[in-house]
Structures are given as C-alpha cells and as structure tokens.
Amino acid sequence: MPAAVDVIDCTLRDGEQTPGVWFTVAEKVELATLLSEAGVLVLDAGFPASSGADVEALQGMRQAGIAAAVGATARPVQQDIAAARKAQADEVFLFMPTSDLRLRETLGITRDQAARIMRAGVDEVLGNGMGLNIVFEDATRASPEHMARLVDEVCLPGEVSRLILADSVGCAHPGSMRALVRTLAERLDPAIDICAHTHNDYGLATANTLAAVEGGARAITCTVNGIGERAGNADLAECLASLTHLHGVEHGVDATALPRLSRLVERISGIHMAATKPVTGGNVYRHESGLHVDSMLKDVRSYEVLPPSWVGAERGYVLGKHSGTSLVREVLRRTGTATDVDDDTARRLLDTVKSTVDGWDKSGHDAAHAAKERFVATALAGVSPDVVVAEYHRIAGAQS
C-alpha cells in the first residue's frame, strides 16, 4: 500500500447520474463546499455539456473559492470541451470507452479511430489550458493490448495527471482489478497516477478500489453514500475507513465530516441509507444484544473495530427485546438512579423492558410497513431508559 492516496469525489457527476436524481445549482455548490472543507482534493463536479445548470454550478464553485480542484467530465468532442472551459473547470475527465464491445457495437468505431479521437481531445483540452485526466471507460472489459497502445499515445507525462481505470459495469473482482492496475502501471510513466473508478454491481466497489490501491493506484474516486449509476459507486466513507483503519493509508479527508456529508446527500438526492450502512449508518455504533452490551461495558474492543469518535459519533446502547441485565444496571447507574441493584430487581426491570417490546401492536400493517416499523423501533426507539427508571422507582417504592 502507498503512504497516501488522492481522493476524487464524483458525487456531483456520477452520483447525480443516479436515475431520478438531480441537484440544484445551490445544492451542488453547498455539497462541493462541504467536500472541499473536508479535505477532498478534486471534485468531478459535473458534465457541463449536459446542461447550463452544470456550467453555472461549476462557475459557482469557483466563485465560492473552494480549495478543491473543480473538474468537469467531457467526451473528447469539441462541444464538451468548450462547455468545460465555459464552466471554468480546473481539469477535465476526458473519457472514451476502451472495450471492443463499447467501441464497435455501441459507438460504431474501431480502436484506431478511438485512439485518434482521444488524441485530438487531449490536444483540445490542453489547448484550452485545463488539466487533464484520461478515463479508460469499461477498462475491465477491454483488451490489454489496446489499453497499452492508448497509454503510449494519449497518456504522456507533462500532458496528463492521472489515468482513471473505470470498472464501468462493476464486473471486476479484487484480483482482476489489482492485476489490471499492476499491468498498466508497468507501462505508464511514473509521473502519471493511476486512479480507480469502480461500480457496485456485485457489491465489490469498495473492495475493488482497495485492491486497485494495492495494485499501485495512487488516487481513488468515490461518491458520498455510494450513489451513482445502477448499484452505485465506491462509497467515500467505506473507502476512507478501510484505507485508514485496515491499511494505514493517508487521504487528507477529515472523517468527522462524513456523517454530515451523508445526511446532506440523503437530503438532496432523496436516497436514504439503511441503518446498517457501514461507517455512517444509524446503527453502526449502537448495540442492543445483551451479551454484546455486557462485553462492551467491560471492554469496547469486544464488538467495535471502528471507533465512533473517528467520525465524531457517540457509542449508544439500546434497551430492547434482546437486552440483558447488564444494560439495565448501566442505565440506572448513568441516570444516577441506583448504583447497586440486586439480581431480582434487575431481572424484574428487564422483564418490564421485554414485555413492553412484546406488547407493541404491529397488527394492521402490511409486511413492508411492519418491516419499516421494526426498523424504526430498533434504530430510533428501543425502550426509553425512562421506562426502567420509572419501574425502578415503582419497585423501590413498593419495597419501602
């Protein structure tokens, strides 16, 4: 693993390509500002040729004076590059399919033609004074010979900063991704960084991103909440957590910004994350099961490898159907109600918790609604500690 990687966020471009999702100009500038303040180095901030709003949004980011470099995605065609220039992009993500399937069957061009179009696009971007990232779209289904030739012809030091290898359909696995990066890294001038762009069709986007870094990639692309085309992209929070805690790789992003970023993207995309969403999900730092809570109260390493403080969150314990007396005692201790509770009282209080949960009426709901209710009960409510405290006072009162 390298000591550090560059982080490129593409929520504003690939994330916005999520079917049915679009962001207003103000939302884009707000998200770009937060990403930049968090320490993200580069933003793939939009596709200016797609709409005037994208041009305006990129200009707005420049006017807001954000520190992150503002990038624009473009095909190697004059109109896209002109739009990126109009948007005042610092750099361009210039993409061209590399697989024969995409070249021959959907674009109807040969490898030679693709190479020539790309070379002309490179010259156009450079002529317009913008920085350049070359994107090999569908690289994970492309011929290594064709990609090697493109490396020689369009990925030249002094012209190109990064080569982005895109697993556009999410068909790679960690082994193939690692091998692809290694092969092209041997061909590429070391002044140019390889960057991974992965999709999550098999749920492997994060694993493939990490494998790419292992193979020699020195930059990664991610989206907040993993939103993006189809099953989405590599999730920013997951990638950063793994890089930090599993591999010790620096990335320059302040992890305490991740929950806020996640909530902002939930709000502006309308796509809500599950409570189990790694790193930023509502249940990630919460525990209910009695045996777990008992262990956690003795040593938090028992069931916690990702410290909540890393993202600025707090550890929580939920009283519920699966609780044990350890948490009942802890609640009484934390609320200052009682420090020393006999076994019989603790057990009676636990029974109150369990019967309260068992008494919840879920009839009249269809299956989907019931599942949602269960989620809400688990994620948000459990049983309030007040129930235990009130019951304790009732028992203690009755005893005195």
Ligand X SMILES: CC(=O)SCCNC(=O)CCNC(=O)[C@H](O)C(C)(C)COP(=O)(O)OP(=O)(O)OC[C@H]1O[C@@H](n2cnc3c(N)ncnc32)[C@H](O)[C@@H]1OP(=O)(O)O
b/e 22-45 (16+ beta carbons within 10 angstroms → b):
ebebebbbbbbbbbbebebbbbbb
Tell me the C-alpha to C-alpha distance, in Å, between residue 46 and each of 94, 190, 336: 12, 28, 54
**Residues from 49 through 78 that contact ligand KIV (CB under 6 A):** 73
Instruction: Choose among ligand X, ligand KIV, none what residue 325 binds, the Cβ cut-off being 5 to 8 Å by kind.
Output: none
Query: What distance, in Å, lies between the first and last C-alpha atoms of the chain?
Result: 65
Q: Name the binder of 321 from ligand X, ligand KIV, none, CB < 5-8 A by kind.
A: none
- 168 makes contact with ligand X (CB under 6 A): yes
Amino acid (one-letter) located at 124: E
Stretch that binds ligand X, among 60-68, 69-77, 139-147, 318-326 (CB under 6 A): 69-77
43 is an interface residue for ligand KIV by CB under 6 A: no
Q: Is 76 a binder of ligand X (CB under 6 A)?
A: yes
Residue 50 near which of ligand X, ligand KIV, none (CB within 5-8 Å, type-dependent)? ligand X
Q: Which residues contact 395 (CB under 8 A, 6 or more apart)?
A: 345, 348, 349
Q: Which run of H or of E encompasses 63?
A: helix 52-63
Q: How far is the CB of 346 from ligand KIV (least distance, A)?
A: 55
Report the residue from 23, 95, 285, 317 that binds ligand KIV according to the rule CB under 6 A.
Answer: 95
Do β-strands 316-317 and 286-287 pair in parallel, antiparallel, or remain unpaired?
parallel
CB of 252 to ligand X, least distance (A): 26
Confirm or reject binding of residue 98 to ligand KIV (CB under 6 A).
no
**What mask of x and - would describe binding to ligand KIV in positions 1 to 40, judged by CB under 6 A?**
-------------x--------------------------
Element (H, E) at 221: strand 219-222
How far apart, in whole angstroms, are the C-alpha atoms of residue 375 and residue 276? 10
**Residue 212 in contact with residue 194, Cβ under 8 Å?**
yes
Place of tokens 């002109």: 82
Q: State the binding string over 199-238 for ligand KIV (x if CB under 6 A, else -).
A: x---------------------------------------
- One residue of 18, 168, 262, 269 binding ligand KIV per CB under 6 A: 168
Residues contributing to the site for ligand X (CB under 6 A): 14, 17, 47, 49-50, 73, 75-77, 95-96, 107, 137, 168, 229
